[in-house]
Amino acid sequence: MTDRFSEDDVVTTVTRLTRSQLVSFVEGELVRPERESSGYIYRRVDIARLELLCDLSHDLDLDETALGIVISLIDQLHAARQDLATMARAIDSLPADTQAQIMAAMKKT
């Protein structure tokens, strides 16, 4: 099983995606594949993002401007979740009394 996909692989894998849509999504920077001498190389995360873009554009009939806004919000949500997970791991590594102080302070706000 590969983790790197060519443009042909992507269009075959993401069945609702046309080649022109793929080009449009790349040009609009809605998906950012790696650039190599042989062309763009897509990762599994790009495939998932393209599936989502197809769902949003086909099922909800969103144009490229709306897709950009929605994808940006999703990216921000993912970043916030990663930050929260990082903070939770950092708090878990602290002594129990410090954790209790943090929890008490969080309940006050």
pTM exceeds 0.75, yes or no: yes
1-60 pLDDT, tens digit per residue, is 679 999 999 999 999 999 999 999 999 999 999 999 989 999 999 999 999 999 999 999
Domain architecture of the chain: domains with CATH: 7-108 (1.10.1660)
CA pair distance 98, 67, nearest whole angstrom: 43
Q: Where are the beta strands (DSSP E) in the chain?
A: 34-36, 39-41
Q: Helix, strand, coil % (nearest 5) of the chain?
A: 70, 5, 25
CB 3, CB 13: distance < 8 Å: no
80-97 pLDDT, tens digit per residue, is 999 999 999 999 999 999
CA pair distance 98, 105, nearest whole angstrom: 11
